[in-house]
Structure 1
Amino acid sequence: MDELKRMMYATQKGNILLAFRGTETAKCFSDGYAFAWKNDVYPILDDDHERSLHAAFDSVFRVNRDQMNWLYHHIHDETERGHVPTFYDLERKMRSPKFGRWELMIALKYFWLKNAIGSAIWEGLLKPLQFPVEAQWIITPFNNDLCDSP
């Protein structure tokens, strides 16, 4: 069953990314949504709008729904307590065999593309000397050519 689900996921991913590249169908999906599929990030902020396209595949995404939910709420909870976490703070908190620097970067880029985190928080997350140089890529536009990586 897992193999079948992965094959269905790959087919769905291909269809969404092809539709995103099309001139008429590109407006069907946001940059953030296409980016999430391209990079295997569960598009948690799209659960209400396009849920039927990704919800069944939660376990197949590299960064799953629980990880995205935890990260999003952790950033906001820490900020409400008066502590804006830096990239390195989040990296230390999230690091595990299945969640490293790349997973954190693609999760944060999805949030950036969805405009889900305010500019003051981004200033804290990407505070000088508190993030790796490759993390600057997080706050760059997503290119429609789908060749978007640091």
Structure 2
Amino acid sequence: MADLDIDLVLAPVDGSEESQEAVEYAIAVASEYDATVHAVYILGEDVARAIDTGAVDEDEVAEDTASFTDAVAEQAAEKGVETNTSIAYGFSTNVKTTHPGSVVLDTAEDLEADFLVVPREPVSGTPGEVLEKAAEYVLLYASQPVLSV
């Protein structure tokens, strides 16, 4: 079996407990392979619509997501893992093909990620979590190895 060559682990997050668990696995993989973790915060449909209509200020959303991504960076630093973060719209009011799964795969391609860690659908079935809609799509279409947790 060939060894994996992993330089960048992509972890899509949405602030949920499931995405926090995925980050923990991403950090563990990155630590093992001396890689960097990139956490991309995927904004949900409600937030994307609110920004588009001006009901929510984009800068406020960025500040809100920063608390989660800052915690990711702190957690990674404790393990000696470098992190980068970004924010992406998981939905578009103009482009029908934009959804969380395609955003994750596009981000992986743009960043040349070598490994993906995606949260699985929560057992509770709580509606509205952004990434629960992405996991199956990413598992089906990713060209990189994927760990679904």
Alignment TM-score > 0.5, same fold: no
> Which has the greater radius of gyration?
1
TM-score, normalised on structure 1?
0.35
TM-score, normalised on structure 2?
0.36
Structure with more contact order per residue of length (Cα contacts < 8 Å, sep ≥ 6): 2
Greater percentage in helix = 1
Greater percentage in strand = 2
